[in-house]
Amino acid sequence: MMWAVRCFKVNSMRRLRIYADFNGLRISPRNHERYAVALDTFGSLLDLSNAGIRLTEEMPLVIFDWSDENEDLEGHCTVYYDWQRQFWWAELDEQGVLDVPRDERKPVTEFLCLGCRSDLTSTNCFPENFSVETMKPAIIAGKDSTDYIFESRSDLENRCPFCGTPINSAIAPPEDKTK
């Protein structure tokens, strides 16, 4: 038993761990025996961008959400892009949703450009006094998204004033799509 727990810990340390809104938990559209969580919120974009990671097909990830005072919800996933709905899914492995002891909950205050790593929070990419932490659950990606955090959805395509990288680059559609 101890051995299994150790392996699990090592495994989760090697993978990037990002926020996802577990209210978006669904049967995975591509595999009905698995669950998946939509990576359509600002918090997922925020954590990916700050980590300097752009999503690619089948990338392994750990997703988490706050459950209560003592526990987080967590899932080990691979990601895939949904061209129909226009966002990424994090598809959970056979373990599904896990209750784990809560991780450190340090509020995020920066939004780092995926390209040049500049903090964009005080640039005109974001509205004035924009709080990246409180906007985490806002839905920003997908065809039917309504919970805009900017004036309009096109503001998500705002570009870094220093290097020109769009702020939504971390969750942009895969480049290798052959249509």
Which residues of this protein are in contact with Zn ion, per CB under 5 A? 113, 115-116, 160, 162-163, 165
Minimum CB separation of residue 123 from Zn ion in Å reads 9
Identity of the residue, 113 or 140, whose beta carbon is nearer to Zn ion in the bound complex = 113
Bridge partners, residue 35, by sequence:
27
Q: What is the DSSP letter of 120?
A: -
Identity of the residue, 67 or 123, whose beta carbon is nearer to Zn ion in the bound complex = 123
Minimum CB separation of residue 48 from Zn ion in Å reads 15
Minimum CB separation of residue 167 from Zn ion in Å reads 9
CA distances from 140 to 32, 43, 55, 75, 86 (A): 25, 9, 16, 21, 11
Q: Which residue has the tokens 């949703």?
A: 97
Listed residue (87, 96, 103) closest to 19, CA to CA: 103
Identity of the residue, 27 or 116, whose beta carbon is nearer to Zn ion in the bound complex = 116
